[in-house]
Structure 1
C-alpha cells in the first residue's frame, strides 16, 4: 500500500493534492516546512498611487495570492479593488488560477496552460501585437525568495516590469525531528513515497537515508537540487500539479 509524505503546507480552504489522494484512497500526510509573513505595505501604496498606470499583473505563487486576499485587498477602497480585478493577470498552474478566480479576478491568463515561469513568460511574449510590452507597465507580486526566470526573460525584451515583495518566507523549527517521526512509524504506516516540492526548508531533511523510500520531485529544478545532494530521484512530475503526481504514483 502506498503511503505518501508530502513536504509542503496543506493549502486552505482545500488542498488539491489531498483531494486527489483521498479520491484515489492513497494514504498520505503533510509536513509543513515553511512559515510565511505577509509584507503588504509597499504593494498597498503602489495600488493606491499607480493603479491607473498598471496595465497587467503577474502572480505565480499561492502564497502571494493569500497575501493579496488577506492583507492587501482589505486595505484598499472598493473602487481600487474593482480596477485590480479587471486587470489581466498572468499566473502559473490551475490551482493558483482557481484561487484568483475565487477571490474575484475576471481576466486570468496562463493557469493550466502555463506549468512554470518560463512557459508563462513565453505566453506573455506571444500575446498578439505586443499588447503587454510597448508602453505597458506590469506588476509582479512575489515572495522574498523567488526565482528570477520571468524578469530575466521579459525585461531584456523591453517589458516594463516591477517586482513587489508581498510575503517573506523562513524555515520552520524542528523540521528534521518531525520528518524523522513520520519516517520512523511502524511497518503498517511506513512512508514509502516522499514528495519534494521545493529545496526551501529541506536542508536537514536531505541528510536522511532514503534507501527505503521512493523520492519524487514536483519539478526539474528540485530534482537537480536533490541529485546534487546525492539523493536518487525516482520520478519527476510532468507538471507541478496534483494530477501529474497521481499519474507518476501510478507508474512507479
Structure 2
C-alpha cells in the first residue's frame, strides 16, 4: 500500500471496503437489470449467446469507476493541501519549538513597524531569555535543553493574544511583538508570561525540570532614520532591558522607556 510523505495511506481500508460493498451491490443490481431486460426482450438485438452477467458488469463498472475516480481525486487534493502546508510550515516555523523562525518573525516585525509609522499606532517588544540555559544543557544534557526550549515556547505562545507575534530570536531567546499596546501593558504581558513559566515545572523522565525566564520590554519610538533603523533601535532597547533583568538576579521583568529605565515586578 503506497503511503504519502506524511506517513498516511492514500487508500484507507474503510474506503476500500465501502467501494467493494458498493461494487457488489451494483453488480447484483446490474445482473437483475440484465435478467429483466432479457426476459422482457427489451433489447431484441442482443445476441442470444451473450451471457447475462455481461449486462450485470457494465453498469456497475461505470459507476464504480466514477466513484473510485472521485474518491481518489478528493484524497489526492487533500494530501496535496497537507503537503503544501507542510512546506509552508518548514519555511516559516522553527523545527524544534514550533513557533515562527527568525526570518518569518522579522517579516512580521517589518510589517508592524510600517503600520506603526503609517497609522501612528503603538508597538512594544518583549525579549525573553531562559535563565541558566547553558547550565541546564551541561548538567542534564541537550535533550533536557531541547525540552526546555519547546515547553517554554509552548507556554509563551499559549498565553499571548492572537494578535501578538512570537518568534524564536536565537538560541534560548524568544521575541514577542505586542501590537497596539504601550510599554506598561506589554510589561504586564511579560510579567504574566514570567509567572506562567515559573509555576510550570517541565515533565521529564526522572526529576522535574524547573525553568525560569527573564524579560526585557521596550516601546517603539518614532524618530529619524529608516524603518529598519527604528526597528533595530527597538530591539536594542528591549535587549538593554533584558540585560538589566538578568543582571538584577534573573527571573524578572525590566523595562526601557523614554523616562529612563526601571526594573519591574508586577506581582
TM over 0.5: no
Looking at secondary structure, tell me which structure has more strand per residue: 1
What is the TM-score when the length of structure 2 is the normalising length? 0.21
Structure with more contact order per residue of length (Cα contacts < 8 Å, sep ≥ 6): 1
Looking at secondary structure, tell me which structure has more helix per residue: 2
What is the TM-score when the length of structure 1 is the normalising length? 0.21
Larger radius of gyration: 2
